[in-house]
Amino acid sequence: MTVSSPSVLIAGGGFTGLFAALQLSRLGCELPVTLIDQSPRFVFKPLLYDLLSGEVEADMAWPRYDDLLSDTSVRFVCNSIQQVDLLNRQVVLSDGSGYAYDYLVLGLGGTAGYFGIPGAQDNTFKFRQADDALALGRHLQQCLQRAAQSPTGAERAAQLTVTLVGAGPSGIELAATLADLLPQWYDRFDGDSCDIEIIVLQRNGEILEGVRSEQLREIARAALGNRRIAVDLRLDAEVQAVEPGRLYYYQDGANHIIETETVIWTAGNSLHPLIQSLPVAQRDRRGRLRTEPTLQLPEYPEVFAGGDCAVMAARPWPATAQVAYQQGMAIASNLALMSKGKPPEPIDISLRGTLLKLGMETGAAELYNRFEVKGYPGHLIRHATYLSLLPTPVRNLKVGAEWITDEVFKQVLDA
């Protein structure tokens, strides 16, 4: 096995990993940096809904790492990581090659969590990667076309029924987007959009669990009912099983069946298997790695962790893109300090608020825990904020996004 020795090895090219790599380059850090990810493309997950709806181009939501890192000294390796050996400070890839490290950044994202529900993994669509969004779009258009060519009946109704499992931010944003998008697509086949049904199942009685603002939840509920298709939100509904064309759930003391050709799973996350296998004792109840305020692992101070796989014991931040990218930048700053013999510093996260997509060109934003903005202004804030974060060479888009964000924020704060 051939072993090379970059000083900084970044495992996973999500928000934490990519922004750590970019920031290390910007800081002029002299440590050699290698970023490893199994995909050749970065997935800007907050824009997957916009990619599905056609509101952004694929190269904005799904750019290539080679392009993003072209002006840096970061080496990108497209491969799957098979083993992380913390004791010997080495990572082994699927082709048998190995990379030693002086410092390791763990940014391995989670996987879909199916909670052992029969048929859930095999008979549902995920919505985590750009490929998932594109595959879902193709499937839905095929369903609409078949429905338009079919006589009335149960088979046609199943083609026009979309069921989402999970009413967290991902499920709510996707349901709201589809409630505006599917009628547009069905119009092309001269179909009646009133026949389309979108159902969201949530196992407990609250949507957007983890979002602090009750007013934001009320805005989301109202938006779901005010789309071209009103979304049918079913709370305290526990999914029992999923079969091809059929979903079983329990609600209000009775068993129910939904005949549907499309079930989308947005119900939760599971830790990456590699993170689960690490010999690290200090974890939270979900198995995430506990870190120091510097984002180092207490048991392995040469290892940093951020994003879905980690939680800071002193202050558990939400698992969102705006947290993960700041974690990546903070890790880079600490690595730069340590390379000069200086101690790392505690991370300082600055959150603008919660951003939600609630339909085509409709959004909601909770700003600094003080203001809630909805409708088209909320869409502008969300869209521009994420565009301004894009690690993309298309500078004019970033400049425009920053200008829009600043203008909208100024209007809100001055109101």
**pLDDT bracket for residue 387 (50, 70, 90):** confident
Whether residue 407 is contained in a domain is answered as yes
The per-residue pLDDT for 213 is 81
In this structure, are 84 and 34 located in the same domain? yes
pLDDT at 412 over 80: no
Degrees, nearest 5: CA angle 200-170-133: 100
- Report the pLDDT value the prediction gives residue 404, as an integer from 0 to 100: 47
Chain centroid to CA 99: how far? 28
Contacts of 155 (CB under 8 A, 6+ apart): none
Q: Are residues 275 and 289 in the same domain?
A: yes
The phi, psi pair for 42, rounded to 5°, reads: -80, 140
Q: Which domain holds residue 137?
A: 130-267
**Nearest Cα residue to 307 out of 5, 11, 51:** 11
With respect to residue 119, please indicate whether it lies within any of the assigned structural domains.
Answer: no
Domain boundary among 224, 243, 267: 267
Number of domains in the chain: 3
Question: pLDDT of 146-155, one tens digit each?
Answer: 999 987 788 8
Residues 91 and 69 in one domain: yes
Q: What is the pLDDT confidence band of residue 269, given thresholds at 50, 70 and 90?
A: confident
Please check the confidence at residue 95 and state whether its pLDDT lies above 80: yes
Q: How far apart are CA 163 and CA 247, in angstroms?
A: 9
Q: Please check whether residue 118 lies inside any domain of the structure.
A: no
CATH of the domain at 174: 3.50.50.60
Say if residue 397's pLDDT is above 80: no
Are 137 and 262 members of one domain? yes
Average confidence (pLDDT) over 120-145: 96
Report residue 35 as tokens.
């970023």
* Residue 122 placed within a domain: no
**Residue 366: pLDDT band by 50, 70, 90 thresholds?**
confident
What pLDDT was estimated at residue 371?
A: 67
**Given 307, 332, 351, which residue is the final one in a domain?**
351
Residues 205-233, mean pLDDT to the nearest whole number: 90
Helix spans in 150-232 (H): 154-159, 169-187, 214-224
Of the listed ranges 43-52, 293-302, 359-368, 405-414, the one predicted with least confidence: 405-414
| Domain finish residue from 351, 370, 400 | 351
* Mean of pLDDT values over 382-398: 65
Look at residue 338 and give its three-state secondary structure: helix
Is 181 among the domain residues? yes
Two tokens, residue 162 = 């979309």
The partner residues of 164 in beta bridges, in order of sequence, read 200, 264
Whether 139 and 259 map to the same domain: the answer is yes
Residue 123 maps to a domain: no
- Mean pLDDT score, 396-401: 44
- Best CA proximity match to 11, nearest among 31, 28, 34, 27: 34
Task: Verify that 261 and 293 share a domain, yes or no.
Answer: no
204 and 275 together in one domain: no
125: amino acid identity, one letter = F
223-236 pLDDT, tens digit per residue, is: 999 999 999 999 99
- The pLDDT mean for the chain works out to 89
Domain presence at residue 186: yes
Q: Are residues 205 and 140 in the same domain?
A: yes
Question: Which pLDDT value is given to residue 319?
Answer: 78
Region 103-129 average pLDDT:
94
Residue 50 lies in a domain: yes
* Whether residue 369 has pLDDT greater than 70: no
Asked if pLDDT for residue 31 goes beyond 50, the answer is yes
pLDDT band at 413 (very low <50, low <70, confident <90, very high): very low
Same-domain check for residues 136 and 248: yes
Q: What is the CA radius of gyration of the chain?
A: 22
Portion of the chain with pLDDT greater than 90, in percent: 68
138, 260: one domain: yes
Question: Are the C-beta atoms of 91 and 83 separated by less than 8 Å?
Answer: yes
Asked whether residue 170 falls in the same domain as residue 246, the answer is yes
pLDDT at 232: 97
Check whether residue 153 and residue 254 sit in a common domain.
Answer: yes
Angstrom distances, CA of residue 179 to CA of 161, 199, 215, 222, 265: 11, 10, 22, 13, 17
